[in-house]
Amino acid sequence: MLVASGEVLSSFGGFLGAVVGAAVFLRRHRARLGGRAWRYVDAIAHAHPFGWTVGRFGCFLAYDHPGKVTTFFLGQQSTDGLIRRNLPSR
């Protein structure tokens, strides 16, 4: 499954978009940039994990992805009064 609404795989849409965007960029600009086109894609690939980390930290601070009920000390109280995981994982 590549696209899942509200599931664990929700970030893969961004990864897929980045790959498609890089492929379109290379196709359109390869002749003009020559061998340098891959340098731009390499720079994007290098910056992507840092941007993704900042985005996920924002999700954590906004408590954007409440998960399962937990007794773990890092759990956060949700609007229903239960202590839940933040940024859930299976």
**Residue 87 and residue 67 in contact, taking contact as beta carbons nearer than 8 Å:** yes
Query: What does the pLDDT read at residue 83?
Result: 92
pLDDT tens digits, one per residue of 50-90: 888 888 888 888 887 888 899 989 888 888 899 998 876 65
Residue 88, Ramachandran bin (φ over 0: left; ψ between -120 and 50: alpha; else beta): beta
pLDDT tens digits, one per residue of 3-25: 455 555 566 777 788 888 888 88
Distance CA 27, CA 11 (A): 25
pLDDT tens digits, one per residue of 35-50: 777 787 788 888 888 8
Assess whether pLDDT exceeds 50 at residue 1: no
